[in-house]
Amino acid sequence: MKRATTFIFMLFFLFGIWSCSGPEADVEITALEKSVAARGNTFALEIFPALNALQEDENILISPFSISTALSMTYNGARGETQTAMAEVLGFSDMSVDDVNLAYKNLTDYLTGADDRVTLDIANSIWADDGFAVDSAFIAVNRDYYNAESNTLDFGNPASVNTINQWVSNNTNQKIESIIDAIPPEAVMYLINALYFKAAWTWEFDPDLTADWPFYRYDGGTETVRMMSQLAEFYYYQNEDMQIVDLPYGDEKFSMTLILPASGTDINGFIADITQSEWGSWMDSLSTEKTQVAVRLPRFTFEYKETLNDVLIALGMGPAFAMNADFTGINPFGGLYINRVLHKTFIEVNEEGTEAAAVTAVEVGYVSVPAYPQIVLNRPFLFAIREQESGTIFFMGKVLYVED
């Protein structure tokens, strides 16, 4: 893991191969889709501090929406206690499986057509060992609602690793080149979500204003970073605990929300205290009117990988990882469990905008004060990229260290 830029990066994306680089889709977002988006945000605000608590001094970059997408595909095969545990963690306890799938499909249609100046490509796939029988209904539901392609490979052939990784690379615009190093003998299936996001700022930073600035690191050290600067009208909010500014992309349907805790605040304690209610209140506070704000933001590139078993088990998904897990919806003879949840992410933020990618693979095993507000992000801060109408969080990050 690079020590460069340090942050937790949450990103929520949904199914299939879609792109919002073409004309905007004529899709209405309903209460059901907004409800699923809100449940996804709740999951985000649970997995975000849970993982941060395990790695408070480490660089962290996760995409909870990619995680929830891959797990939602897997959820279609869960039964009994396994299904109940997954539903509770993912926020589906009071929804039917059919409603979950339909809402995700419709929400994705909306999100990928929300802004024709933003590229959002999402792909899902299922890879099964050619000696392993998969229930046809499981394949069909993931094809119909998640646009997941289905493939069989000889998992005993080392070339299968390259085949899966090539799919990952192709569907993240080569930003993430691999997700698995080897296929363990107990693995019989991979359910994979890949996501690619690229967007220019609505108001780009002038490269001539980018200059060397000190960044005060979490460990007490100081490093020199390339700090971008601009003065423009943004949605902005502050109180005694923090400052928040929303930097829009494209036609302002998507944005990066930057959160700077007050000086002297421990950022890990701040993260631990974030609740869904507080998050909603903060976002509501940004939805008033724009004000002129001077923004200084470090330019950074960052990538991260993590196996998410421990954090998902801690959140309550343990039955899905147990040897007696019930995934008889995948294969009626049972004996399946989640062996690993593998996750990789990438982000680059510069004067032009943001490029980001994420992949999640569920491996199934068998048994001075100016006249205007100023926010200078020269110490640990948070950020999020979100869609305005639905409130869906695409990215949330914690920056501790910065390096081009």
Contacts of 208 (CB under 8 A, 6+ apart): none
Kindly indicate the confidence band of residue 371, based on its pLDDT and cuts at 50, 70 and 90. low
Question: Whole domain around residue 238: which residue ranges?
Answer: 207-297+370-399
- In whole angstroms, what is the distance from residue 19 CA to residue 22 CA? 7
What pLDDT is attached to residue 1? 37
280 shares a domain with 162: no
Provide the token pair at 218. Answer: 């979490």
What pLDDT is attached to residue 352? 97
Q: Label each residue of 322-386 as H, E or C.
A: CCCCCCCCCCCCCCEEEEEEEEEEEEEECCCEEEEEEEEEEEEEECCCCCCCEEECCCCEEEEEE
- Residue 15 inside a domain? The answer is no
8 Å CB contact between 255 and 203: no
What pLDDT is attached to residue 6? 43
- List the end-to-end C-alpha distance of the chain, in Å, as a whole number: 15
pTM for this predicted structure: 0.86
152 shares a domain with 137: yes
Long-range contacts of 93-97 (CB under 8 A, 24+ apart): none
pLDDT, tens digit, for every residue of 137-192? Answer: 999 999 999 999 999 999 999 999 999 999 999 999 999 999 999 999 999 999 99
Mean pLDDT of 89-94: 95
- Residue 3 inside a domain? The answer is no
How many CB atoms sit inside 10 A of residue 314's CB?
A: 16
150 shares a domain with 276: no
Contacts of 180 (CB under 8 A, 6+ apart): 161, 164, 165, 190, 342, 361, 363
* Helices and strands counted in the chain (H then E): 10, 14
285 shares a domain with 139: no
Domain count, the chain: 2
185 shares a domain with 89: yes
- Residue 240 inside a domain? The answer is yes
381 shares a domain with 341: no
pLDDT of residue 239 exceeding 70: yes
392 shares a domain with 272: yes
388 shares a domain with 359: no
- Residue 268 inside a domain? The answer is yes
137 shares a domain with 80: yes
Among residues 129, 128, 130, the alpha carbon closest in space to that of 138 is found at 128
- Residue 23 inside a domain? The answer is no
- Residue 2 inside a domain? The answer is no
Provide the token pair at 329. Answer: 């919806």
277 shares a domain with 191: no
168 shares a domain with 54: yes
Q: What CATH number should be reported for the domain holding residue 74?
A: 3.30.497.10
- Residue 20 inside a domain? The answer is no
β 291-298/222-239 pair status: antiparallel
pLDDT, tens digit, for every residue of 259-298? Answer: 999 999 999 999 999 998 999 999 999 978 899 999 999 9
- Residue 111 inside a domain? The answer is yes
What pLDDT is attached to residue 368? 45
Kindly indicate the confidence band of residue 15, based on its pLDDT and cuts at 50, 70 and 90. very low
232 shares a domain with 121: no
Q: What CATH number should be reported for the domain holding residue 270?
A: 2.30.39.10
